[in-house]
Every structure is written in C-alpha cells, then in structure tokens.
Amino acid sequence: MKIERKQEAYLNIFLAILIVVFATYIGTTIGKKVKVDITQERLYSLSDGTKAILHKLSTPMTLKFYYSKTAANKGTEGIRAFNNYYYYIKDLLDEYVANSRNNLKLEVIDPRPDTKEEEEAIAAGLKRFPLSETEKYFFGLVVRSENGTEKVIEFFDPNMQANVEYDITKLIYQATDPKKINVGIISSLKVLSEDVSPYIAQMMRMQGKNAEESWIITKMMQEFYSVKEVLPETEKISAIDLLVVIHPKNFSEKTLFAIDQYLLEGGKLLVLVDPLAIVEQAINPPQMGMQMQPDYSSDLAPLLATWGIKYDKSDFTGDRYLSGVRRMDQFSPPVRLLPLLECNQTCTQVSKDVVSSGINNMAFIYPGALSTMGEDTGHTFTPIIGTSEKGNTYKAMGYELNNPVALMNKFTDGAKPVIVGYKVVGKFKSAFPSGITVVDEEKAEDDKTKNKVKKAASRKLEAISESKKEGAVIVIADVDFIHDQNAFRSTIFGLSMVNDNAKLFLNSLDNLAGSNDLMSIRSRGKFSRNFDVVDQIELDAQKDTESKVSEINGQIERFTQELNQLGRSGESVALIQNEGIKKKKELAAQIALLKGELREVKRIGREKVENLGAFLQNINTLLVPIIILIVGIYFSMREKKRVKGV
C-alpha cells in the first residue's frame, strides 16, 4: 500500500513537471500570438491606420533595427535603462512583421566596433554616441525597400514613445514613394523661407542681419507633402490640393475672393486666425511712446460668416481650471495665467472627431473663440478642441494684457465649453456671388508728353456662386500654438515635439488631405496620464488661497491710499512717518497671520494628496497577497470537505 502511494506521488510529480513543460511550450509558441490589450487607448496594439498601410504593401522591405546592446550593458545605469525601451521597440516591430503579409523582414543588429555592421549604421546616417574610445552607441532603424529606397529613424528617443508608431509607419509609407499631395501656404507671416545653412545663418546674426528660417512645422509638412508658398496678392489659386491659411491679416478683397473660389472649386482649407498673435508681436513690438496698442489680430471676414462660423477677434477664450501656472519673473511667485490655456483630454471631450482623438497635451496663448451662426446652412459643424464646461470668453485691453492678476479677477466661469477649433463639411456658397471688380495699374504712354505714366484699368472677376460637391474647412482660433517655441524643443538628440500642438495641426492636414491611415496613427494616446483626482485636490486648495491673497492685496492697496491721504493733508513729515511705521507694523502682522493660514491650507491639501498616494500604495502592496490568501483558504476548505466526504 505504501509502495503504491509512493509510486502515485512520483507519478503526480512527473505529470506536474510535464504539464509545466507543455504549458511553457504552448505559452512561448501558440500563446505568443494570443495577445489582449486592455489599456484604454490600446497602447500596445497597432492602430488601424498602420494595419491599412501594411496591407497595401506590394513589395518586400527590410527593417534593420540597430541597437548597441553589448555596449549598453557595459555602460552606465542611464544607458542600461534604454534596454527596456529597446524591448518595447522590438516587440512593436514584431507586430509590424506579423501584420505585413510577409512583406516585411526584421533584422536586429548589434553593431560592434570595427565591423561591417557599424560602418553600415554610420553610412545610413544613424546617430552615434561615444561611450568610450572604441564603443559607440546606436539606437535607430533603417527601412530599405526592394528598389533601394532607404528611410531612417536616426535615434529612438524614449521621450517620444507616444509617437513611435507614427514614426515607424511614416518610414514605411515614405519608402513606398507615394505621390505627394500639393499643399499651399498663404500667410501674412514669413512661415516659409528659403532656408540657409546653420553656418550662414550664424554669420548673418553676427552681422546684425535677420536670418529668416522656415517654421519647423512647415519642414515637417515637407516630409509628406509638396509644399509651396502662395503669395497674398494672388488672383487665382490653382494646382493646390490643400490650402493652409495662417494669420490672414489685412488680406485684400482679391485675395479673399481667390480663397473663396478655391474652396468652391473643390479645394480644402485649414485656417488659423488669432485675436492676438504673440509671434507677430515679437517680430513687430510696440514702440515706446505709442498712444495705441498695435493690432496683432487676424480675421477672415466675410468668409467665416459665409461658412457659418462666428468669430469676434476682440474675444479671448479662458478657463481658470485649464490655465497654466508660470512665474512672471524670477522674483515673483507662480501664478495662474488666464491667457495660457493648457489643454488635457478635457479639451477633446467636446467631440470624438478623429482630428483630435488622442490629443491630451496642448498649449494655446490668447486663443480666440468660435461658434456657429445658429442658422440652417446645411453644413455639418464638428468641434475638435475646446475648454471645460467652466470655460468662457473675456475681453482685455491695454495694461490688462500683461496683468494676469487683473485678468483672473475680472474673469467669470461659464456654463458650457468654449470652442477653439471647428471642422465644417458641406456644400459652400460664395461670399462674393456677384464677383468682384479689380483695378490693375499699368504703364502707358501719355499722348501729349509721350512719358510713361500709370493708368488704372478695372475688370470684373466672375464668381462661382455655389460648390457642386462637398468641401471641408478646419478653423482654429490660434496661430501661436504651431510656432517653434510653443510646439518644439531642442534636446541632445535633436528637435522633438514638446506637446501635441504639432500633432493637432498635422492631424488636421491629414484629415483634409484624405490620408486617414496616417492620421489615425497620430491619434494614439500617451503613456502618461493625468491624475485628475490629485489635480482637483490641488486646485481646491489653491481656490481656498485665492481669497486670502486678494485680501492681502486689498489691505496693501488701502494702506497705500491712506498713506497718500496723509501726505496731502499737510501734516508734518514726522507724523506721516510715524503713522506709516505704525500702519506697516499692523499690516505686517496681518500678512504674517494670513501667510500662516495659507501654509495650513496648503498643508491640508498636500496631506490629502499624500494620503491618497499612501492608500493606493497599500492597495497595490496588500491586494495581491490578500487575494492569494483568500483563494488558498477556499481551496483548503474545499479539500477538507472532499477528504471528509471520502
């Protein structure tokens, strides 16, 4: 009997080992293909846009993935930390291969010093970072098509993890060499220039000359599109698939007519207007002694109204709950700036449009406000970006534009979101149904003097009154959000996007251009998520302090008025000084008391955040052991019942 039990025990152990071996084999082969992505934005799955592009591949391509794994393992702790990102990229590339219908082949290469692989990586243009006299660090990708076309990601920056799928798919898309769409840019600003070399630009600056360079966003556009400048005084816009209108300030009637007719002839428009373009203010700052503030606004009247969009260039959009926190100078404390609208995923809750899907980190400066005219125009109006339900519009003039405290004090919360961006689809009517008359100046010979003189000749431009097919327009009430200093930053690895500003602009372009596959890739979410509960706790604590700060400022203002009144009453200087000293002491005591209350409020808010963190940590630490304990007790009691039953 004992021998049989012993043999049974050995048999159970053998079967258990066999089950583990088979389970491991199944998990590493068949189970490897079975994946479930339970993240909210499906961060670990290829987007539908990527799959669509991969399914359209008709020629084989090779993905050469260079990573200096050996050098990284020998390097510092910071370099070794890149290994985790390497495994993420490799798993992502495996997904590309699995969805490519055998058109993609992946080669993982560890380029060692003085090898052919290292020479190929350098020749391809990958960035290299010396770790020692012999070791160099590579982390990039080369996509090579069958016809010899090569596209390169010079370096995989972990800070750009949210955009890595877009970057990889872009390379594959470009390697297929599709026909580029023609995009025109018309603007009152110099956003597109003939770029000079960095050396020449530096020499020009040393000589005090202005080295004009294209905005970075236009350089990104050139990767996908054939981009050309459209002069503002153009009469007819042709050979353009998509027109981008940036800061249309003081456009002539002829230019507005050209844009109007371009849309009605089947064109598509991306329009950026602004009630206060900071980028223009930096180029043309107000002069000392000027009586009136220069106008830095732009409008596209009467076209916007014809499209059903209401826009008042004297209105700004604000939201105290989305306002950014900055220091006005190095000595002042951080304050909330109403003109700085820092958008998170709240700003895209006004719509689920694909243009803004996945956008959760943007920054607008003095943005404008858009709304619909309320008339039945037959158009479809889709908001793409807006404020929270507490957003509202406000007006500001003169000193208020540089006084964040004054702006915040006069601002009142609204009851519904304010829209900053709209997409309008439908059949459009002309803002100039009867056409326009243009006056041409030409040189002619005077009959009497035989001298060349300028003569004006007028002519009529006929108009298309209504489009025959549906068109699309996207309007965003801000220009500064795509400027270099607001959308990009320089790192040791080169330029990178600092937020989703450029992404929204490029999404809009792709949506209008019809490249929905690439657009859907850009719309993926990020790994960093906002701590909404923590943010609300901190905001509540700050709201409690605002009234106390206002009380301090009010007392200081009253003290100043009383002191000035003492000076005007004709009393002696000694009396004024004594009264002033007494008032200062009283006020200092009150300020010290209020500051103590401020510290207490901040402490309570901080403790709420810390308590929440401790609670979550305890849940993470204790939950799994508790579940295991409960399961163990359950099976133990179940086994005891079974033994008793036997």
Strands 362-365 and 335-343: antiparallel
What is the band of 194 on the pLDDT scale with cuts at 50, 70, 90? confident
Q: Give me the chain's average pLDDT, please.
A: 80
Residue 66: per-residue pLDDT = 97
What is the number of helices (H) and of strands (E) in the chain?
18, 24
Q: How far apart are CA 86 and CA 156, in angstroms?
A: 9
How many of the other CB atoms lie within 10 Å of CB of 412? 9
Determine the pLDDT at residue 477.
97
Query: pLDDT for 67-76, tens place per residue?
Result: 999 988 887 7
| CATH superfamily assigned to domain 48-175 | Glutaredoxin (3.40.30.10)
pLDDT digits (tens, 9 = 90+) for 120-132: 999 999 999 988 8
Confidence of residue 598 (pLDDT cuts 50, 70, 90): low
CA 570, distance to chain mean position in Å, is 61
Q: Give pLDDT, residue 527.
A: 46
Write out pLDDT tens, residues 132-157.
Answer: 888 899 999 999 998 888 899 999 98
Q: Where are the domains of the chain?
A: 2-33, 48-175, 181-284+294-522, 532-645
Task: Report the pLDDT value the prediction gives residue 528, as an integer from 0 to 100.
Answer: 47
Picking from 301, 513, 310, 307, the residue whose alpha carbon sits closest to that of residue 426 is 307
Two structure tokens written together for 82: 């890149």
Pairwise pLDDT comparison (575 vs 300), residue with the higher score: 300
Rounded distance between C-alpha atoms, residue 634 and residue 623, angstroms: 17
Q: What is the DSSP letter of 293?
A: P
Question: Which helix or strand (DSSP H or E) is residue 643 part of?
Answer: helix 573-645
Q: Does residue 216 contact residue 193 with C-beta atoms inside 8 Å?
A: no
Q: Pull the structure tokens for residue 75.
A: 């390097």
As a whole number, mean pLDDT of residues 54-60 equals 90
| Least confident piece of the model among 79-93, 162-176, 435-449, 519-533 | 519-533
What pLDDT digit, counting tens, does each position of 492-550 carry? Answer: 666 788 899 998 999 899 888 865 566 556 545 554 455 556 556 555 655 555 555 55
Percent of the chain whose predicted confidence (pLDDT) is above 90: 39
The pLDDT, as a whole number, for residue 644 is 65
611 versus 296: the higher-pLDDT residue is 296
595 has a pLDDT exceeding 50: yes
397-444 confidence digits (pLDDT tens): 877 887 888 888 899 999 999 999 999 999 999 999 999 998 876 655
What percent of the chain shows pLDDT beyond 70?
A: 71
Residue 193: per-residue pLDDT: 82
Average pLDDT over residues 22-28: 67
Left if phi > 0, otherwise alpha if psi is -120 to 50, otherwise beta: which for 125? Answer: left
**In one letter, which amino acid is 207?**
Q
Going by C-alpha positions, the residue among 307, 324, 239 that lies closest to residue 273 is 307
- Greatest CA span in the chain, whole angstroms? 137
Given pLDDT bands bounded at 50, 70 and 90, which one contains residue 627? confident
pLDDT of residue 484: 92
Strand 488-491, strand 129-130: pairing: unpaired
Q: Mean pLDDT, to the nearest integer, of 18-42?
A: 64
- For residue 439, give the nearest of 454, 453, 458, 455 by alpha carbon: 458
Q: Tell me: pLDDT of 563 over 60.
A: no
Residue (of 201, 536, 292) closest to 390 by Cα position: 536
243-275 core/surface letters (b: 16 or more CB in 10 A; e: else) = bbbbbbbebeebbbbbbbbbbbeebbbbbbbbb
φ, ψ dihedrals at 489, nearest 5° = -150, 155
Nearest-CA neighbor of 384 among 343, 364, 356, 344? 356
Q: Which of 197-201, 251-255, 456-460, 592-596 has the lowest mean pLDDT?
A: 197-201
13 versus 60: the higher-pLDDT residue is 60
Asked if residues 442 and 455 have their Cβ atoms less than 8 Å apart, the reply is: yes
> What single-letter DSSP state applies at residue 429?
B
For residue 595, how many other CB atoms are within 10 A of its CB? 12
Give CA angle at 261 (260, 264), nearest 5°.
95
Contact of 185 with 229, CB cutoff 8 Å: yes
Cα–Cα distance for residue pair 180/455, rounded to 1 Å: 43
pLDDT average, residue stretch 236-254:
95
Contact 171, 152 (CB under 8 A): yes
